[in-house]
Amino acid sequence: MDQSEPQKPKYSSETVPIIDFGPYLAGEPGALERTAAEADAASRSLGFFFIRNHGVSQELIDRMFAETMRFHELPLERKLEVKVTPKENVGYLPQGGQTQLSYSKLYGESKHPDRSISYFVRKEYPEDHPDRLAGKPWVSNNRWPRELPGFRETCIEYFGAMSNTARRILTLHSVALGLGRDWLVEHDAFSKDAYTLRLLDYPPRDPLLDGQWGIGPHTDYGYGAILAQARVPGLEILTIKGDWIQAPALEGHLLFNCGDFAHRWTNGRYRAAPHRVVNYSGVHRNSVVFFTNSRGDVSMDCFPTCKSATEPPKFEATSFGEYITMLRKTNHTLKD
Ligand SMILES: [Fe+2]
């Protein structure tokens, strides 16, 4: 056994900040600026924060989880009918379809494919939508399972609710960074809801396999992610000090984290924290992640308020599309 691998690490007592969106969403005087300052502080330190009173109905979240479980409980052959293709990352990603490699040396090696199983959804564009007819690059072809009434409708409704939540977070970052309230929301990079919804199932970890994770250590590629967890915890986050903390599955809360593009576009101010998932429980764990990615075809170096003559951009201008293409070559393996 490799002794350097943190299979059963000691966990830090540092906790994930909790931010109450209630007063901000109610439009209380001063709440926007106050909440923006809290989101800013959390984004600069741990890079993760819980959202209390996020404005998304618990009924919808519960229904999304019920549909997630219903999908994953389908016979394998039904799910394989909607398997992801090398061309588009939408649909079903079977177990073993992904192995995280990029942080292996630093944060614990992934010696086996991730144990998680996924279903990916992008924004739904009707057949006659002008963007679809024009072949716009942000239009994907969702792969809906047949004979699963209510599944598609719930995914689309949840996608819409999370798009609103993403805009609220972008507004907070925009205010905190001095860009002006609507700068990010109105920027081309976020103009087409180029987000991805991922419905996850984590079977219990195989205790016989060292270095196997539900999802191996990684940072998120895009601007950020909004996570809803069911009852079983499993997410672990690396702190600035280099300790792992376990995020609880806090009922009624969403969890936001900054990704690589929040880091790049804030010139390093916001932290894309390495994190991983391991299901130590004896039961399946489900989570629903909404990746608040920017448009694949919009390139930016960093936000105008995050650079100056004495603080030039640290990162080259990159679009999400270019970045993900580069990462896929080394990090994200799709197998037959
Ligand atoms: Fe992640």
> Does a structural domain hold residue 8?
no
User: Which residues are near ligand 1, the ion (C-beta closer than 5 Å)?
Assistant: 220
- Give me ligand 1 centre to Cα 308, in Å: 31
- Give me ligand 1 centre to Cα 129, in Å: 31
Count the Cβ atoms, other than its own, within 10 Å of residue 22.
Answer: 15
- On the 0-12 / 13-18 / 19+ scale of CB atoms within 10 A, 35 is buried
When divided into structural domains, the chain yields a total of 1
> Does a structural domain hold residue 1?
no
> Does a structural domain hold residue 6?
no
> Does a structural domain hold residue 9?
no
> Does a structural domain hold residue 255?
yes
- Give me ligand 1 centre to Cα 126, in Å: 29
How far is the C-alpha of 133 from the C-alpha of 129, rounded, in Å? 6
CA distances in angstroms from 43 to 172, 178, 283, listed in the order given: 11, 15, 32
> Does a structural domain hold residue 7?
no
Write the pLDDT tens digit of every residue in 242-266. 899 999 999 999 999 999 999 999 9
- Give me ligand 1 centre to Cα 124, in Å: 23
Write the pLDDT tens digit of every residue in 91-145. 999 876 555 555 555 555 556 666 788 999 999 999 999 999 999 999 999 999 9
Give the pLDDT confidence score for residue 151 in this predicted structure.
98
Residue 80 is part of which domain span? 18-334
Please name the amino acid found at residue 239: T
- Give me ligand 1 centre to Cα 116, in Å: 12
Does residue 71 sit in helix, strand or coil? helix
Give the pLDDT confidence score for residue 5 in this predicted structure.
44
- Give me ligand 1 centre to Cα 275, in Å: 6
> Does a structural domain hold residue 189?
yes
Low-confidence ranges of the chain (pLDDT < 70): 1-9, 96-114, 205-213, 330-336
Edge-to-edge strands, sheet with 18-20: 18-20, 48-52, 254-258, 224-229, 285-291, 196-202, 117-122, 91-93
Q: Which of 22, 48, 20 is nearest to 224 (CA)?
A: 48
- Give me ligand 1 centre to Cα 130, in Å: 32
User: The domain that contains 202 carries what CATH number?
Assistant: 2.60.120.330
